[in-house]
Amino acid sequence: MAKFIKKGKGGTPPINTASLPDIVFMILMFFMVSTSMRQTDRLVQLTMPQASEIAKLERKDLSSYIFVGTPTSQYQAKFGTESRIQLNDSFRTIDDIRDFVAAERENLSEAERPYMTVSIKADQDTRMGIISDIKQELRRCSALKIMYGARKAAK
């Protein structure tokens, strides 16, 4: 019965981890392709309203963002709980939109400027007054392509 004598010590052989880096790199590549870099830190709390007829923004690089909402808790002491406008990384007022749009437009090449989209991301409990002001200001600096940010809702 020598045939059945165990050779050496038993136990499962170690799993070969040589391909682990490849797998991880694959996941990494997936994330790099499917995500985009976070552009700004949000200083406002916002839950976007739901809508069912939404369209995707085609060119992310051609868009600039205006956030509207109540400041997050750490800024509430300084800026209050009223809805505020956030442009880039700071709280701004309506009057700053003109400069903001001009600066954003400057960043784009001549050919792409007509396609610039301003994406308004506002909290669902914002009053329309502030949004109307933004819209009027955008019309004044002729940034006419806008997008109201919304979440996908079930139909």
Q: How far apart are CA 9 and CA 48, in angstroms?
A: 62
Q: Which stretch binds another protein (CB under 8 A): 8-16, 71-79, 101-109, 142-150?
A: 142-150
CA angle (144, 99, 145) in 5-degree steps: 10
- Options 10, 31, 109, 111; binder of another protein; rule CB under 8 A: 31
Minimum CB–partner distance for residue 26 and another protein (Å): 9
Tokens of 149: 């940010």
DSSP secondary structure of 92-103? E-TTHHHHHHHH
Q: How far apart are CA 80 and CA 77, in angstroms?
A: 6
Using CB under 8 A as the binding criterion, the count of chain residues that bind another protein stands at 55
93 touches another protein by CB under 8 A = no
Which residue type, as a one-letter code, is found at position 109?
A: S
- Options 12, 52, 74, 109; binder of another protein; rule CB under 8 A: 52
16 touches another protein by CB under 8 A = no
Tokens of 145: 């392509």
Minimum CB–partner distance for residue 89 and another protein (Å): 15
From the centroid of its chain, how far is CA 70? Answer: 17
Residue 90: exposed, middle, or buried by beta-carbon count in 10 A (0-12, 13-18, 19+)?
Answer: exposed
146 touches another protein by CB under 8 A = yes
147 touches another protein by CB under 8 A = yes
70 touches another protein by CB under 8 A = no
- Chain residues binding another protein by CB under 8 A are 17-18, 20-21, 24-25, 27-28, 31-32, 34-38, 48-49, 51-57, 60, 63, 68, 117, 119, 121-129, 131-132, 135-136, 138-140, 142, 144-152
